[in-house]
Amino acid sequence: MAENSRIVFCGTGEFAVPTLDALMTSENRPVAVLTRADQPAGRGRRPRQSPVKERALQYGLDVLEPTTLRSEEEVERIRALEPTVIVTAAYGLIFPRSVLDIAPRGAINIHPSLLPRHRGPAPVVWTLLEGDENAGISIFLLEEGVDTGPLLSQRVVPIRSGETAGELTERLSQLGATLLVETLGNWLDGSITPEAQDHDLATQSRMLEKTDGALDWNSPAQELERRVLAMTPWPGAHTTLAGKRLNIRRAIALPPEYDPRGAAPGQVVRLRRSEDGGGMGVAIGTGEGLLELLEVQAEGRRTIPARDFARGSADFIGATLPS
């Protein structure tokens, strides 16, 4: 570690908290934290502190909450901290050139994808939606382009079977914290040479909308399985039954032999599986194969096994769900 290094940490969401924790137990403890200002939340719309602010205050760190980084006043406040390097994770504000130029060792960002794939917001969701076999963490130098800066390090992890976006994000947040501490020390020591990204291989992700959770039963079952995983926990994969929302919490695509008669897209069918003693299962016809429902949640109800929902809903088996 370079002597007298001063670290300024910028983060807001839950993803950033493990990195702050890791920095606080390392040789590169932050001198201050930048986070987004308190946001209205809950039914009362009362201001709520960001997860990073809550943790930073527990550590007794100075916390700054700029609403923009483009004003000269905020730039000077950051400059007054005399950072050697700025570390950022899930922060939420764009860094203009005037801020990027403050720290001699630049600004380092933690991104939960294998750049240059899935630049932009919601990279974990798009990693799952596009059926990637591996996920990972990229540590790179910020520049004015969105996630285009040179790489300092990467770590690859296989995606686990049945892993949701929420579960994968949590796993990557821990991995990112560990890799950041390791990378930061090497970067400050001058033992890392930045490597330019191959921009020809870049893909771009986008912000999620509530409508992204709607299931189109004309899509193949494999694609629908990925969408259920990618939309968990938000906005949640869902369909409509008798005019009410039905959330699909867990589902798996079945091999072709489970659909010998070729159920129509959206058609709810009963499964009898010899491997579980002939117990009943529930599946939906799709554009290609069957999607077995494992857990569902009716509007205003708790999540239950799909077979239990079918037992209590006489009209479910045989219904055709809209796309």
Per residue in 197-206, pLDDT (tens digit) is 999 999 999 9
> What is the number of other CB atoms lying within 10 angstroms of the CB of residue 81?
18
Taken in order of first residue, the domains within the chain and their CATH numbers are 7-201 (3.40.50.170), 210-312 (3.10.25.10)
Structure tokens at 139: 């540590």
Distance CA 271, CA 278 (A): 9
Please report the pLDDT score of residue 8 as a whole number. Answer: 98
Tell me: pLDDT of 304 over 70.
Answer: yes
User: Looking at residues 17-23, what average pLDDT do you find?
Assistant: 98
Per the model's pLDDT, the better-predicted residue between 38 and 248 turns out to be 248
Strands (E), 160-317: 238-241, 244-253, 268-272, 280-285, 290-298, 304-305
User: Looking at residues 99-113, what average pLDDT do you find?
Assistant: 98
Instruction: Give, as one character, the DSSP assignment of residue 103.
Output: S
Please report the pLDDT score of residue 196 as a whole number. Answer: 98
User: Looking at residues 295-323, what average pLDDT do you find?
Assistant: 95
Please report the pLDDT score of residue 206 as a whole number. Answer: 96
| CB proximity list for 215: less than 8 A, separation 6 or greater | 224, 227, 228, 237, 238, 239, 248, 323
User: Looking at residues 272-292, what average pLDDT do you find?
Assistant: 80
User: Concatenated DSSP letters for 120-171?
Assistant: SS-HHHHHHHTT-SEEEEEEEE--SSTT-SPEEEEEEEEPPTT--HHHHHHH
Please report the pLDDT score of residue 275 as a whole number. Answer: 55
Tell me: pLDDT of 261 over 80.
Answer: no
Distance CA 181, CA 52 (A): 17
For residue 312, which amino acid is it? G
pLDDT band at 3 (very low <50, low <70, confident <90, very high): low
Instruction: State the residue for tokens 């670290």.
Output: 7
Distance CA 255, CA 258 (A): 6
Phi-psi region of 316 (alpha: psi -120 to 50; beta: other; left: phi over 0): alpha
State the Cα angle at 20 between 16 and 25, rounded to 5°.
150
Distance CA 155, CA 112 (A): 10
Which strands, in side-by-side order, build the sheet including 134-141?
Answer: 62-64, 30-34, 7-11, 85-89, 107-111, 134-141, 151-158
Per residue in 147-193, pLDDT (tens digit) is 999 999 999 999 999 999 999 999 999 999 999 999 999 999 999 99
Please report the pLDDT score of residue 67 as a whole number. Answer: 94
Per the model's pLDDT, the better-predicted residue between 256 and 82 turns out to be 82
Contact indicator for 248, 237 with CB cutoff of 8 Å: yes
Task: Tell me the backbone φ, ψ of residue 13, rounded to 5 degrees.
Answer: -80, 175
Strands (E), 42-114: 46-48, 62-64, 85-89, 107-111
Instruction: Give, as one character, the DSSP assignment of residue 274.
Output: G
Per residue in 117-144, pLDDT (tens digit) is 999 999 999 999 999 999 999 999 999 9
Tell me: pLDDT of 279 over 70.
Answer: no
For residue 157, which amino acid is it? V
Q: Please report, to the nearest 10 degrees, the dihedral formed by the alpha carbons of residues 65, 82, 183, 177 taken in order.
A: -20
Percent of the chain having pLDDT more than 90?
89
Distance CA 259, CA 253 (A): 11
Average pLDDT in the chain: 95
Tell me: pLDDT of 277 over 60.
Answer: no
Phi-psi region of 172 (alpha: psi -120 to 50; beta: other; left: phi over 0): alpha
Please report the pLDDT score of residue 42 as a whole number. Answer: 75
Count of residues in the chain: 323
Distance CA 295, CA 307 (A): 8
CA atoms within 13 A on the CB side of 11: 30
Per residue in 27-79, pLDDT (tens digit) is 999 999 999 998 888 777 888 999 999 999 999 999 999 999 999 999 999 99
Tell me: pLDDT of 278 over 90.
Answer: no
